[in-house]
Each structure stands twice: as C-alpha cells, then as structure tokens.
Amino acid sequence: MEDILINWTPQETRVAIVENGAVQELHVERALERGLVGNVYLGKVARVLPGMQSAFIDIGLERAGFLHVADLHQAGSGLPPSRDGSATPIEKLLFEGQTLMVQVVKDPIGTKGARLSSQVSIAGRMLVHLPGDEHIGISQKIGSPETREALRARMQLLVGTRESGGGGGFILRTNAEEADDEELAADIAYLRRTWLAIRERAQTRPAGSLLHEDLNLVQRVLRDLVGERTGSIRIDSHLQYEALREFGQQYMADSVGKLELYAGERPIFDLCNVDAEIDRALERRVDLKSGGYLVFDQTEAMTTIDVNTGAYVGARNFDDTIFKTNLEAAGSIARQLRLRNLGGIVIVDFIDMAREEHRQAVLAELRKQLGRDRTRTAVGGFTPLGLLELTRKRTRESLARMLCEPCPTCQGRGQVKTARSVCYEILREILREARQFSAKEFRVVAAASVVEMLLDEESQHLAGLSDFIGRPISLSAEPGSVTERYDIVLL
C-alpha cells in the first residue's frame, strides 16, 4: 500500500508517495513557478518554419511555444485536409498573425519554449475529453477485450451525438473500469461544462490569453495519484484539507475517505525522512545496499547512469558479484528516475556481464520496476557496446533543475581551474596588456590562494615577467573571491 504525504505552504506544495517507508515519487509545485502542462491558451502564430514543418506560437509567455505539424489537429478545426491522404504542409495550414487555440503538452525546459498541441484534451477523474474528436478510446491498462468493448458501448450511449447536445471524443482512464453510468455521466457533464467555458472565453479574450488552467498540485493528487493501492492521504494544512475535501466530495467522492488532516508536532515530511531523501536525490552518487553505487550525470540531451560494484565482494565468484550488483541497480535506477523525474534519453552503463542469461534477467527486472512508473517509458535492449538505452517521457523539469541552479563558480562544469592554472593565465594576460597599453604599474586582484602561489612557488616567473615588460607588478588578495576570478588593473 502507498501513503501520500502533502506538505503545503503558501509559497510551495510538496507531495511524497511513500511505500513501505521508502519514498517512491516526489512532486513539487511553487506558486511562482507553476507548471503549464494542461493549460489552454488563445495563441497567435508568430512564425511559420516550412523547413522544420513547425511554427512558433505566441501565448503570452516569455518564450513562444513550439507547434509541430504532427500536433496540429485538423479534425473538427476547420483546417483543410490533404487531398492525397498525406500530411498537409504546415505553411498551407497556418499563416503569421493567425489566432489558434493551443494546449501546453510539455513545459518549457532550459532554453526551449513550451511544446504545444492544437488538440485540446481536458482531464477528469475517470475520463479525458477530446472536444475536437469523436473517438471513444480505452486505456490499455483496462483488462480483457470483452470489458473494453462493454465500456465502449456504454460510453457511446452516454455521450450521445452533437445533434442531441453531445458529441466530442472521450478516453476512459484506468479507474473508469469500475465506474457506474451515473459516475461516468457526471464526469462527462463536468468536462463538457469546462469546455463550454473555454470556448466562451476564446470568443471574448485577446490573443495571448490564458483560457483554462489545469488543477493545482493538491487537486491533482486526488485526480491523478490516488488509486486502489493508496492507503491514506495526509495533509498538514487545515485550509487546504477543507478545500481538498470539498473538491473531492464534488468530483471524487471515493477518495475523500482516505483524506486525513495531519496535526502532529513534527513536520509531516519528517515522518519518512522525505527531506533527507530529496537531498540524496540531488546528489550524483547513489549508494546501493550491497556496497555498489550508481553515478548520475544529467546533460541537456540525455542522462547517463554508471553502475559500479564499489565495496561489494559478497558473491561466490566474479560473475555472480556483477550480476547481483546489476540486479539491485535495476530496481534502484527505476526508483531514482521517478524520484528525480528524469526524462528523455537515458543511457545505463551496467557492469559488463559475460552470460546472456544474466543480461536478460537484469533487463527483465528493469522493465518490471519501470512498469510501476506513471510516466510512459520504453526500454531497448543492450547495445553492442553493452549499454542499455531507454526513454522516459519528459513533460516538466527534473527535480534538480527545479530546485537547483548552475554553480556560479564553475558555471555547471562541476570543476574549477587550479590556482596554478589561474596564475599562468594571469601572467599571459599581463604580457598581452603590456603590449597593448602603456601603464606605470600592473596590479593583480585575485583570490588569496592565487596571490599566495604567485608570491611563493611562482615568484620567480612573476619577477621575470616584470623585468621583461619593464613595469612593476603588485598583488592584492580579495577575501572571499573564487579561484578563477581575477582583475588586472592598469595604474
């Protein structure tokens, strides 16, 4: 069973999903940095790029959103279909200055703007509404073909037709399998009311306006995170507890019984050492119980994970030691991907395994552990170099990118120049300045460690340079300055 802990403050909401005392997922939302996924905007086409079959859409944010032709939904939108059945070029569908209703499907990440789609989808408790489509879809996690067909038949009767005031497509989520007709009808009515309000705003508001904002994190807990395996939902704010209870009674009555107000003296996240788990999730190294460890490196394009045996020597032979380390690493990697919310391409460098059955067992264990992930993942096999490739859908920033920023000293490189390297850089810069400018004296203002080295180990080179340029060189230590930062003042 899972327990959900919600720590709420006016500036930040944090949610932890805990299973058997171990944190499995972390979700963070800040009032000033709320995610945009699910938001609907009335955008204006800023630029069409035929070469990329894409367009930039101004939705009123700092950076324009990105819309690919594959995400430009034509059914029911008035956009012309292609005559030969192939995709119509985007330059024939959009023009600069055109207004278009779009929805954010991926938050801005790094320097990239939000990824957009013109097919609006509105998520409810049991259903997802597709106003521009007539399709009835069923979640792949819903069991037998007979159950799926029965649900589809029920939905077709409940949805009705456009002539009868119905219409629009729906996708049944996993928790719709046990729902009765009354619950489904209530969800349909709620989603249609929401869509009607969006359309009315689109007719009265200017381009660049927000038409619909997705639920906040506390509300999404009930909609997206609560399931059959959820034991309790504990929240430490009385105000949010009452608001969430009211929201649940209106839309998700079956979850309200699991809701609890936490009134303990200890912070709610101290119950399961969640803050310590967050700190560990920001580190490069993750220790395994066996003595092995993982090393995570996140770049712009991908994440690499290196598996090492470390101090583990417990197996009977070398092959078994490697196999058991990799097997334990597979479970830890799946959990860390959820904790850190790592997405995109992930490359795992498992320790080389000589036996094929060991590789297949590790692959099977990784797929099994990833099967618990709410985010879609796809696992490939081992490459000829022994690396394992997988992808995890990325819709928002990772935990590290959300909570941290690049080091102002190393600018994210993870290392800084040595004091000796900076000394030699200063000597070269003085020589360069001496050839360009006529100064009476050159004064070096640098970190204490650099000045100390120039006065001690590099004093002979400094004196030689002073004699060569025919000008005195003085040194001044700047307290608190970082090693790489220095100034050369011409006097």
Q: What is the dihedral of CA 297, 300, 301, 303, to 10 degrees?
A: 20
pLDDT of residue 78: 41
Query: Does residue 238 have a pLDDT over 90?
Result: yes
Of 227, 242, 275, the last residue of a domain is: 275
The verdict on 9 and 59 lying in the same domain is: no
More confident call, 160 vs 218? 218
Asked whether residue 413 is domain-assigned, the answer is no
Of 371, 403, 435, the last residue of a domain is: 403
Asked whether residue 414 is domain-assigned, the answer is no
Q: pLDDT tens across 364-408, in order? A: 999 999 988 888 889 988 888 889 999 998 877 888 888 888 888
pLDDT of residue 20: 85
Centre a 10 Å sphere on the Cβ of residue 329 and count the other Cβ atoms it contains.
28
Annotate 340-378 with DSSP letters as a single string: HT--EEEEEEPPP-S-HHHHHHHHHHHHHHHTT-SS-EE
Q: What is the CATH number of the domain that holds 83?
A: 2.40.50.140
Q: 86-120 burial by CB neighbour count: b if 16+ within 10 A, else e?
A: eebebeebbeeeeebbbbbbbbbbeeebbbbbbbb
- Confidence band for 164, pLDDT divided at 50, 70 and 90: very low
Q: Are residues 54 and 90 in contact, defined by beta-carbon separation less than 8 angstroms?
A: yes
d(C-alpha 55, C-alpha 53), whole Å? 7
pLDDT of residue 85: 44
**Angle at CA of residue 157, ends 156 and 160, nearest 5°:** 80
The verdict on 260 and 316 lying in the same domain is: no
d(C-alpha 169, C-alpha 102), whole Å? 17
Asked whether residue 433 is domain-assigned, the answer is yes
Number of domains the chain contains: 4
The verdict on 304 and 166 lying in the same domain is: no
Asked whether residue 468 is domain-assigned, the answer is yes
Query: Does residue 77 have a pLDDT over 50?
Result: no
d(C-alpha 72, C-alpha 473), whole Å? 65
Q: pLDDT tens across 320-372, in order? A: 888 888 999 999 999 999 999 998 899 999 988 888 899 999 999 999 999 88
The verdict on 126 and 147 lying in the same domain is: yes
SS3 109: strand
Instruction: State residue 232 phi and psi, 5-degree precision.
Output: -150, 155
Q: Which helix (H) or strand (E) holds 19?
A: strand 12-19
The verdict on 227 and 345 lying in the same domain is: no
d(C-alpha 112, C-alpha 210), whole Å? 20
Please enumerate in sequence order all residues whose Cβ is within 8 A of that of 284, keeping only pairs 6 or more positions apart, or say none. 295, 296, 297
pLDDT of residue 448: 92
Query: Does residue 162 have a pLDDT over 70?
Result: no
The verdict on 77 and 22 lying in the same domain is: no
Q: What is the CATH number of the domain that holds 468?
A: 3.40.1260.20
Which pair of structure tokens corresponds to residue 128? 């997802």
Of 248, 275, 302, the last residue of a domain is: 275
Asked whether residue 298 is domain-assigned, the answer is yes
More confident call, 360 vs 109? 360
The verdict on 174 and 62 lying in the same domain is: yes
Asked whether residue 64 is domain-assigned, the answer is yes
d(C-alpha 322, C-alpha 312), whole Å? 9
Query: Does residue 159 have a pLDDT over 90?
Result: no
The verdict on 469 and 371 lying in the same domain is: no
The verdict on 190 and 268 lying in the same domain is: no
Give the pairing type, strands 230-235 and 2-8. Answer: parallel
Q: 196-212 burial by CB neighbour count: b if 16+ within 10 A, else e?
A: eebeebbeeeebeeebb
Closest CA to 24 of 375, 373, 404, 328: 373
Which range is least confidently modeled, 31-40, 54-63, 470-479?
31-40
Give residue 98's domain range.
40-212
pLDDT of residue 74: 57
Q: pLDDT tens across 303-330, in order? A: 999 998 876 555 567 788 888 889 999 9
Average pLDDT over every residue of 207-225: 88
Query: Does residue 75 have a pLDDT over 60?
Result: no
Asked whether residue 375 is domain-assigned, the answer is yes
Please enumerate in sequence order all residues whose Cβ is within 8 A of that of 338, keeping only pairs 6 or more positions apart, or say none. 24, 25, 373, 375
Q: Rounded to two decimals, what is the model's pTM?
A: 0.72
CB-based contacts of 31-34 (< 8 A; 24+ apart in sequence): 33/402, 34/216
The verdict on 112 and 132 lying in the same domain is: yes
Centre a 10 Å sphere on the Cβ of residue 231 and count the other Cβ atoms it contains.
12
pLDDT of residue 83: 43
Query: Does residue 485 have a pLDDT over 60?
Result: yes
The verdict on 232 and 245 lying in the same domain is: yes
Mean of the per-residue pLDDT values of the chain: 86
The verdict on 367 and 308 lying in the same domain is: yes
Asked whether residue 409 is domain-assigned, the answer is no
Average pLDDT over every residue of 187-207: 89
Q: pLDDT tens across 438-471, in order? A: 888 999 999 999 999 999 998 999 999 999 989 9
